Amino acid sequence: MKVLGADALIVVDVQCDFCPGGALPVKGGDEIVGVINDLLPKFDHWFYTRDWHPEGHCSFAEDPEFRDGSWPVHCVRNTPGAAFHPDLHVPEGAVVINKPSERDTETYNGYQGTDLAERLRRSGVARVFVCGLATDYCVRSTALASMDEGFQTVLLEDACRAVDVPEGTGAQAVDEMRRAGVRVCRSEELA
């Protein structure tokens, strides 16, 4: 698949707290960093989302269920855990989207409450390639929202990892995205 000038790479939540050693590690989360870095030269437009929670966020639990709505404290604004993985390259000119989060609301996709769609349109983007963490939560939500916003959407499956709790949710998320019209491919298929 040829990457065109009207394509953008959306890198979802590749943050320290979602990588090994973080507060909410995704198994193999750090393994995608090199894959993503290798993708960067293929694109002219890069958008990075990140969880940006306030202290005391409603999803934080002392005894978390590790499912939608119940998580350990993670990605608190301006903390080391909220920083991008130290080996992740963020090119000059890349746009960073902080997913807004009020204490009493959760935001999984990069569009909700942000100007991501507007910025993509202003840049002339027609197709987005989505990668990052985690396949079954924020990547899924961002890819589906990209479709809802009218962008052709491609999931770079090898540049994602899933929480996968309960087991199988990562594969289910990929199937759901496919059924919604998201094209699924691997990074080596891009030219």
Residue type at 61 in one-letter notation:
A
Beta carbons within 10 angstroms of residue 71's beta carbon: 23
37, 38, 42, 43 alpha-carbon torsion, rounded to 10°: -10
Question: Is position 185 annotated as part of the catalytic site?
Answer: no
Question: Is position 136 annotated as part of the catalytic site?
Answer: no
Question: Is position 99 annotated as part of the catalytic site?
Answer: yes
Catalytic residue from among 16, 75, 138, 160:
138
Catalytic residue from among 7, 17, 75, 99:
99
Nearest to 96 by CA among 32, 11, 154, 155: 11
Strand partners, 47: 10, 95
* Strands 127-133 and 183-185, sheet pairing: unpaired
Q: For tokens 């949710």, what's the residue? A: 169
Catalytic residues: 13, 99, 138
